[in-house]
C-alpha cells in the first residue's frame, strides 16, 4: 500500500501532478488540413489531393485500440463535389492510391501517427468549391476549403 505524504509536502505533490497532466495534455494529437490541390483530368473530372497533419507526438489512437477495434476510425471527408473514387496514398507524390470502394467520399483511416502526415486523393466530377474535413474521436476536427 502506498503511503500518504505528510501534509507539508502535499503542495509539492499536487504541483508535480499538475505539471505532468499539463505536459501530457500538450502532447495530445492536433490535426490540421495542411494543403488541398486540384488537378484537371479532362472530361469534367478533377483529382483532389489533401495533406493531413498531426503536429503533436501522440497518435490519434493507441496500438491496442487499432488492433482490437475499440473505437471508430478517423475519417477524412470531402464535401461539395460528386466523388467518383478516393483513397489513401502511401507517399505524397505517388500516383497509386489504396482505393476505398465503399463510401469513397469519407475515407476511414485506422489512425494518424504522431508528428506525421496522411496523404489522400479523390477523383471528383465538377469544378465546385470543395472542403476537406478530418474527424477523429480523440484527435478532434479540422476543416479547410479549396477556393
Q: Are 125 and 91 in contact (CB under 8 A)?
A: no
Q: What is the pTM of this model?
A: 0.88
Higher pLDDT, 6 or 33: 33
Which fold would CATH assign to domain 29-146?
Answer: Immunoglobulin-like (2.60.40)
| Confidence grade of residue 127 (pLDDT, cut at 50, 70, 90) | confident
| Confidence grade of residue 6 (pLDDT, cut at 50, 70, 90) | confident
Contacts (Cβ under 8 Å, ≥6 apart) of 98: 87, 88, 89, 90
| Confidence grade of residue 1 (pLDDT, cut at 50, 70, 90) | low
CA torsion through residues 98, 142, 74, 19, sign: positive
Dist CA 123 CA 144 (whole Å): 18
At residue 86, the pLDDT reads: 97
Dist CA 28 CA 23 (whole Å): 9
Mean pLDDT of 120-124: 97
Q: Is the pLDDT of residue 33 over 70?
A: yes
**Per-residue pLDDT tens over the stretch 62-117:** 999 999 989 999 999 999 999 999 999 999 988 899 999 999 999 999 999 999 99
Domain boundaries defined on the chain: 29-146
Amino acid at each position: 500500500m502506498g503511503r500518504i505524504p505528510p501534509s507539508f509536502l502535499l503542495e509539492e505533490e499536487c504541483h508535480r501532478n499538475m505539471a505532468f497532466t499539463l505536459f501530457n495534455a500538450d502532447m495530445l494529437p492536433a490535426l490540421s488540413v495542411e494543403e488541398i490541390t486540384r488537378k484537371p483530368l479532362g472530361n469534367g473530372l478533377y483529382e483532389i489531393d489533401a495533406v493531413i497533419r498531426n503536429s503533436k507526438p501522440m497518435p490519434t489512437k493507441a496500438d491496442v485500440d487499432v488492433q482490437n477495434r475499440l473505437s471508430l476510425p478517423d475519417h477524412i471527408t470531402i464535401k461539395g463535389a460528386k466523388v467518383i473514387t478516393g483513397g489513401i496514398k502511401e507517399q505524397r507524390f505517388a500516383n497509386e492510391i489504396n482505393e476505398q470502394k465503399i463510401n469513397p467520399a469519407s475515407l476511414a483511416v485506422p489512425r494518424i501517427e504522431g508528428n506525421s502526415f496522411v496523404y489522400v486523393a479523390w477523383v471528383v466530377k465538377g469544378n465546385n468549391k470543395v472542403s476537406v474535413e478530418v474527424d477523429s474521436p480523440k484527435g478532434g476536427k479540422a476543416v479547410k476549403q479549396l477556393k
